[in-house]
Amino acid sequence: MASDNRDDELDILRRKMLLNIMRRKIGVKLRPAMPKGVIHLNTSNFNQILSRYPIVVVDFWAEWCGPCRAYSPIYEKLADKYWSKAVFAKLNVDGNPVIARQYNVMSIPTTIVFYRGREYKRFIGLSNTSIQNLLRVIEYLYNKIGSE
């Protein structure tokens, strides 16, 4: 039984690798290279980043916000670990109130996962459960892109 599962997994990997090779041969770009670390967004680059990368995770925050300061090192560690699967960005709501209003960000920290330029999932506040759910969403979307 375990052998059958391994064979199935190997078959799936082989097919994905073959598909990637075929795409490269015909010149299809799979994904843009993901930047490492955290990008700081503002009104001039927000839409450009959302349209350029398939998965963008945005932390809406403010300097005066205690929970935002507590979340920041955690978020940066997530960005360091998962940068190859999603772009991690931060947007200061005080410096960019129009974007915060556009996405109805009423509480901070709020983390929004964007998929193909549209809001996919929102996490408000800071908890271990929300961080685990955020990682699940990133994995799900990353795998979804790989199967398209």
Helix (H), strand (E) at residue 67: helix 66-82
Of 19, 34, 49, 65, catalytic = 65
The angle subtended at Cα 72 by Cα 45 and Cα 136, nearest 5°, is 85
Of 55, 58, 68, 100, catalytic = 68
Rounded to whole angstroms, the Cα distance separating 14 from 129 reads 34
Q: Is 59 a catalytic residue?
A: no
Rounded to whole angstroms, the Cα distance separating 78 from 76 reads 5
> Tokens 């931060």 map to which residue?
90
Q: Is 65 a catalytic residue?
A: yes
Question: Residues with catalytic annotation?
Answer: 65, 68
